Chain A
Amino acid sequence: MSDAPTGNEADAAAEEAWRSSPEYAAWRERYDAATLRDKPYETMSGVPVEPIYGPGPYPGEYPYTRGVYPSMYRSRLWTMRMFAGFGTAEDTNARFKDILRNGGTGLSTAFDMPTLMGRDSDSPWALGEVGRAGVAVDTLADMEDLFADIDLSGVSTSMTINGPAAVVLAMYIAVAEKTGVPQAKLAGTIQNDIFKEYQAQKEYIYPPRPSVRIVTDMIQYTAAEMPRWHPVSISGYHIREAGSTAAQELAFTLANGFAYVEAAVAAGVDVDEFAGRLSFFFNSHSDFFEEIGKFRAARRIWARWMKERYGATKERSMLCRFHTQTAGVSLTAQQPEINIARVAIQALAGALGGTQSLHTDSFDEALALPTEKAARIALRTQQIVAHETGAADVIDPLGGSDYVEWMTDEMERQAEAIFAHLDDLGQGSILEGVYAGIENGYFVGEIADSAYRFEREVNNGNRIIVGVNAFTDGDDSDQSILRIDASVEEYQRKRLADVKLGRDDAAVQAALAAVTATAADPTANLMPPIIDAVKAYATLEEVSMAMEKEFGTYVEKAII
C-alpha cells in the first residue's frame, strides 16, 4: 500500500474543506434558524444524514440552483395539491368539503371547456361539453354553489382558467364579499397565463395584445388589493403536453415569464411589487435526469434574468417557485395500471428537482376523468415518495453529480439559445419576441416538430413505450371509468335560464356597457367594472363578449 490517500480519505478531506468554508457557515446559520419538521433525519437503517452534501452555492442562495429555500423539505414538504372539478357546482362543492374534512387546505378547481372558453352552458358551442372535463360556471350563482359553506378566508384556492380569468376571479371576489370575507384576505392562485394558450393549450378568446392587457390589469389590481393572491401561474405544463422537448418547455415558459414582467413594468408597476407573486408550473416527464436538470436550470435562469436584466432587488422576485404535475401525455391507455409506476418515477423527479407543490396524475387519465380510487392511488404515490424514500431528507441530493450538473448546464444552454432567438425577433424585447413568435407560428411549429419526431421514434421502435410498442401482453384490463351524466348539461341550462329570469336586465346591460367602455380605455383597469357586472349576475359569456366587442377574437392560423 502506498501513502497516497485512499478514495475514502480524499472524499473525507474534501467534505471537511467545504464544511469548514465560510459559505457553508453562512448557509448553516440560515438553515439552523428555520423550523424543521419533527422527525429523525436518518436512513431506514439508522444512518444519520446531513441536510446537504457538496459545496455551494447553497439552497436559498443566489442563483438558487439547489433550491429556493435554505431548508427546503426539511422544514416543509411540498404541497400535495390535487385537481378536482366535474359536473355541477354542487358536485364539486361536495368534493371540496371532502378534501377539507380530510385535512386539506388547498382547493384546486378545474372548469369545463365552455367555461374555459368564456362560453355559457346554453351556447351552441357548449353542446356535449357542459360539466364534462370540469365544473360549469355561468354566473355568480354557480360560484356561490361551488364555494357554499366554505370559509374562504381559511383556504387557498387555485383556479385553472386563462381566457376568462378576470371574470372568474371577479366572481370569486364577489362570493367572498357576500360571505363577509374582504378580498384582501383571499389566498390563492389563478393560472391566467395567456401566452401559453396561443403556444400550446389554445384556450384563448381575444388576440394576444388585449389579452395581455387583461393580465397586466389583474397583476396591477391584485398588487394593490389582494396581497395574498398570485395573479399568474406561468405554465410550461401544457407546452410539454403539446409535444415540446424539456428544453423548449423550460425556455418558452421562462420567456413567457420575462414577457409578463416586461408588460407589467411597461404598465407602470415596479418589478419588485409583483415579481414575487409570480409562480410557475412545470411538467414532470419520464426522462428522470433530464427533468431534474430542467428544474434546477429553471431556478438558476430565472434568478439571473430577474436580477441582471430586470433589475429585481428583492430576493423573492428572483425565486422560481413552481408547481409540478406528472406528464398526463405519458400515460398509456394500454395496460393502464402500469401508469402508476410512471407517475411514481415522475413524482420522484419533481421532488428531487425541488418542486413547491405536486399533482400526481391518476393512472386512468388516458381513458377519462379519474375515478375516486385512481385519484387516491395517485395521492398515495406522492406520499410514498415523501415519507418512505428518504428523498425529502436531503436537499438537492443529486447536486454535485457530474451528470446532473452537466444536464442542468445543457438545459440552460438550450434555453438561452431560444431566449436569444426571441430577443432577436423582438429587437431587444422578449415581450415583442413572444408576440412575434405567436404571430409567425414559431412556437406552434417548434412544438409540432418535436411532437412528430417523438411519434416517429415510437412508431419505428427507436423509442420504447412499455405496453404500447413493446411488452404489450397483458392488456386485458376492464377499467371502470368515471362518466359524467348527460343530464348535467340539461340541469345547467335550466339553472342558467332561471338566473337570467330573476335578474335586473337593465342593470346587467348597464354593467356590460361599462365593461366595454373600460376595455376601450387602455389606461383604465378592467377589474372593477367586471366585478360590478358579475354582481349583477351578468353571465361569463356576456362579460367575455362585452370585452370582445372592443378586443375582437383570435383565430389561429392552422400551422402544422
Chain B
Amino acid sequence: MARHKRSIPELYAAARSGERRALGRLLTLVERGGAGADQISELAHPDAGRAHIVGITGAPGAGKSTLVGQLVTDLVAAGRNPAVLAVDPSSPLTGGAILGDRIRMDDAAEPGSGKATAFVRSMATRGHSGGLALAVPLAVRVFDAVGYDPVIIETVGVGQVEVDVVGAADTAVVVMTPGTGDAVQANKAGLLEVADLFVVNKADRPGANDVRRDLDLMLDLSHMTGQESETGYRPPIIMASALHGDGSGDVWDAVEAHLTHLDEADLRAVRRRHRIRTEVRARLEQAMAAAAETAMNSERGSQWLDQAERTEIAPTHATNQLLDVLLSDPEEH
C-alpha cells in the first residue's frame, strides 16, 4: 500500500482533528525546513499559544528519559494530553543518527492494552545546532496548535544549544545526578541562570545531598537580577528517583507551581516574548548567513573578493560593499 501524499493544509487539518499520522508527517516537514516549514508556521500560528511549554535538560545518563516517561504517564492518567519532543545528537559525519532510548510509558506496554499514550517525537540535531534552533520552536508551535498541552522538550547535555532551547520554555527544568560534577558543568554553561527548577535524580545514591547543597550554595551566591528574583521566586530543588518511581509527582507539582507563579506575577507574556524574540533572531541569523553566502557568490561579490585578494581593496572595504548591497537591495540576491 502506497503511503498517502497530502498537501500541508490537508495534513494540518487532519492533525487538528487528532490524526497522529498527519501530525507525524507535519513534524517531518518542519524538520526539513524551507518553504514547507514556513507554510506550516503560518497555519499553526493562529491556533497556538495555549500550551504550557516545559524544557527538561541534563547530562547524558541523568535519567531524564525515565523521568519524562513517568511524567507523561502521570499526565495521561490525569486526563492531560502531553507531547514530548526529544532532541538527540546525530552523527555529524554521515548525517545519520541513532535515536535510542525513546521515552516509554509504563502502563502502555501490555500487548493489546490499547491505552492512550503521549505523543513522542525524536529529533536529531542533524549535525548543526542551527537547524535545531529553527525546528524546535516550530515543532513546539505545531504541537501547541493541534491541542497538545503540556509540550515537553527534552534535550541531552548542558551546552549552549540546551541553554537556548530550554531557556525558551515557560518552565525550564535541569536534571542532575550525584557524583558526576553536573552542577559545576551546568554553572559554567549558564544553565543555572535559566533553570526554574532543579531535579536531583537518583537521589537514593550517595552524594545526592551534596549536589543539593552545592546547588543551594550557587543559588545563594548568584546575583538574581532577573524578574523572578524581584518577585521572590527561588528555583526549588526536587529530590527524585525516577527509576524507582519516586518523586515524579513532586516534580510535576513544582512545574505547575512555577506556571502559577508566572501567571500570578504576570510573567507568562514575558516568557513568550523572549521565546519569540529568540526564534526570530535565530531565523534572521540563518537567513542573513544564507544571504551573505549568496552575496559573496554573486558576480559583484566575486569581483570584490578577487580585488581584495589582489590587495587592490581592503577586506573591510569588500565587506562594506557587500553590506550595502545586502541591506539596500535584498530582492536582487
Given contacts A124-B112, A127-B111, A207-B243, contact A555 B104 (CB under 8 A): yes
Are A558 and B243 in contact, with the CB atoms below 8 A? no
Q: Does A305 contact B (CB under 8 A)?
A: no
Flag if B110 contacts A558 (CB, 8 Å).
no
A552 with B245: in contact, given A558-B100, A559-B100 (CB under 8 Å)?
yes
Among A441, A552, A557, A559, which residue has the most Cβ atoms of chain B within 10 A? A557
Query: Do residues A560 and B98 form an inter-chain contact, with CB atoms below 8 A?
Result: yes
- Known contacts A207-B243, A552-B244; is A557 also within 8 Å of B65 by CB? yes
Verify if B101 is at the interface (C-beta below 8 Å from A): yes
Residues of chain B lying within 8 A (CB to CB) of residue A557: 65-66, 100-101
Q: With A207-B243, A440-B61, A552-B244 given, is the CB distance from A559 to B101 under 8 Å?
A: yes
A491 on the B face (CB < 8 A) = no
Chain B residue with Cβ nearest A127: B111
Residues of A with C-beta under 8 A to B110: 124
Binary interface encoding of chain A residues 438-457 relative to chain B, with 1 for a CB under 8 A from any of its CBs, else 0: 01110000000000000000
Chain B residue at smallest Cβ distance from A124:
B111
Is A471 located at the chain interface by the 8 A CB criterion?
no
Query: Is A403 in the interface zone, CB < 8 Å from B?
Result: no
Q: Contact string, A531-560, partner B, CB cutoff 8 A, digits 1/0?
A: 000000000000000000000100101111
* Docked pose: A558 CA to B111 CA in angstroms: 19
Asked if B80 lies at the interface with its beta carbon under 8 angstroms from chain A, I say no
Please classify the interface of chain B as helix (H, G, I), strand (E, B), loop, or mixed, using the class held by over half of its residues. loop
> Does A406 interact with chain B (Cβ within 8 Å)?
no
Map CB proximity to A onto B25-53 as digits: 1 under 8 Å, 0 otherwise.
00000000000000000000000000000
What residues on B are CB-neighbors of A552 within 8 Å?
244-245
B102 is an interface residue with CB less than 8 A from chain A = yes
Closest Cβ of chain A: how far from B293's Cβ, in Å? 36
A185 to B65, CA, bound (A): 49
Q: Across the interface, name the chain B residue whose C-beta is closest to A554.
A: B243
Q: Which residues of B sit under 8 angstroms from A124, Cβ to Cβ?
A: 110-112
Cβ–Cβ < 8 Å partners of A555 in chain B: 104, 109
Q: In the complex, A552 Cα to B245 Cα: how many Å?
A: 10
Complex contacts, A439 vs chain B, CB 8 Å: 243
Neighbouring A residues of B243 by C-beta, 8 Å = 207, 439
Most central of B65, B66, B112, B243 by chain A CB within 10 Å: B243
Task: Determine the residue in chain A with the shortest Cβ distance to B109.
Answer: A555
* B102 partner residues in chain A, CB cutoff 8 A: 558
Bound-state Cα–Cα, A439 to B65, Å: 13
Per the bound structure, the CA–CA distance linking A555 and B244 in Å amounts to 12
Question: Which residue, B98, B101, B112, has most C-beta atoms of chain A within 10 A?
Answer: B101
- Could you count the A-B residue pairs with CB atoms below 8 Å apart for me: how many are there? 24
Q: Within the assembled complex, what's the spacing in Å between the Cα atoms of A207 and B244?
A: 9
Residues from chain A with Cβ under 8 Å of B112 in the complex: 124
**Separation in Å of the B154 CB from the closest CB of chain A?**
14
> What string of 1s and 0s marks CB contacts (under 8 Å) between B80-101 and chain A?
0000000000000000001011
Tell me which residues across on chain B come within 8 A of A125, comparing CB atoms: 111
Q: Which residue of chain B lies nearest to A439 when distances are taken between CB atoms in the complex?
A: B243
Cβ contacts under 8 Å, B111 to chain A: 124-125, 127
Mark interface residues in B89-127 (1 if CB within 8 Å of A CB, else 0): 000000000101110100001111000000000000000
Instruction: Give Cα A359 to B104, complex, Å.
Output: 39
Task: Report B-chain residues with C-beta under 8 Å of the C-beta of A127.
Answer: 111
Q: Which residue of A lies closest to B110 (CB)?
A: A124
Q: Which of A92-151 contact B (CB under 8 A)?
A: 124-125, 127
Minimal beta-carbon separation of A545 from chain B (angstroms) = 12
Interfacial chain A residues near B98, Cβ < 8 Å: 560
Question: Nearest chain-A residue to B244 (Cβ)?
Answer: A552
* CB neighbours of A440 from chain B (8 A): 61
Question: In the complex, A560 Cα to B243 Cα: how many Å?
Answer: 20
Residues of A within 8 A of B109 (CB): 555
Whole-angstrom distance between the Cβ of A198 and the nearest chain B Cβ: 13
Instruction: Give the docked Cα–Cα distance between A124 and B109 (Å).
Output: 11
* Residues of B232-247 contacting chain A, CB below 8 A: 243-245
The chain B residue with its CB closest to the CB of A559 is B100
A298-340 interface code vs B (CB 8 A; 1 in, 0 out): 0000000000000000000000000000000000000000000
Q: Whole-angstrom distance between the alpha carbons of A124 and B113 in the complex? A: 10
CA distance A124 to B100 in the complex (A): 26
Q: Is B100 a contact of A560 with CB atoms below 8 Å?
A: yes
Q: Which residue of B lies closest to A123 (CB)?
A: B111
Docked CA distance A555–B110 (Å): 13
Q: Which residues of A contact B61 (CB under 8 A)?
A: 440-441
Inter-chain contact A558/B245, CB cutoff 8 Å: no
Bound state CA distance, A441 and B101, in angstroms? 12
- B243-302 contacts to A (CB < 8 Å): 243-245
Kindly state the separation between the CA atoms of A207 and B66 in the bound complex, as whole angstroms: 14
In the complex, A124→B111 CA distance in Å? Answer: 6
Chain A stretch 164-222: residues in CB contact (< 8 A) with chain B: 207
Q: How far is the CA of A406 from the CA of B243 in the complex (A)?
A: 44
Cβ contacts under 8 Å, A441 to chain B = 61
Q: A419-450 interface mask toward B, CB cutoff 8 Å, 1 = contact, 0 = none?
A: 00000000000000000000111000000000
Report the separation of the CA atoms of residues A557 and B111 in the bound assembly, to the nearest whole angstrom: 20
Q: Which residue of B lies closest to A556 (CB)?
A: B101
Are the CB atoms of B101 and A558 closer together than 8 Å?
yes
The residues of B that contact A207 with a CB separation of less than 8 Å are 243
Alpha-carbon separation in the docked complex, A552 to B104 (Å): 15
| Most chain B Cβ neighbours within 10 Å, of A125, A440, A558, A559 | A558
CB distance from B34 to the nearest CB of A (A): 30
Taking CB atoms, residues of chain B closer than 8 Å to A559 are 100-101
A127 CA / B110 CA spacing, docked (Å): 13
Chain A residues positioned under 8 Å from B66 (CB to CB): 557
In angstroms, how far is the closest chain A Cβ from the Cβ of B103? 11
**CA–CA, A560 and B88, complex, Å:** 13
B216 → chain A closest CB, angstroms: 25
Closest B residue to A557 using CB positions = B101
A125 and B112 alpha carbons, distance in the complex (Å) = 10
Complex CA–CA separation, A559 to B102 (angstroms): 10
Within 8 Å CB of B244, what residues of A?
A: 552
Alpha-carbon gap, A178 to B272, bound state (A): 73
Q: Determine the chain A residues whose CB is within 8 A of the CB of B101 once the complex forms.
A: 557-559
Closest 8 CB pairs of A and B: A124-B111, A558-B100, A558-B101, A560-B98, A557-B101, A560-B100, A124-B112, A440-B61
Q: Which B residues form the contact surface with A (CB < 8 A)?
A: 61, 65-66, 98, 100-102, 104, 109-112, 243-245
Q: Knowing that A555-B109, A558-B101 are A-B contacts, what are 13 other residue pairs whose CB atoms are under 8 Å apart, sorted by A's residue number? A: A124-B110, A124-B112, A125-B111, A439-B243, A440-B61, A552-B244, A552-B245, A555-B104, A557-B65, A557-B66, A558-B100, A558-B102, A559-B101
Contact sample, A vs B, 16 pairs, CB 8 Å cutoff: A124-B111, A124-B112, A125-B111, A207-B243, A439-B243, A441-B61, A552-B244, A552-B245, A555-B104, A557-B66, A557-B100, A558-B101, A558-B102, A559-B100, A559-B101, A560-B100
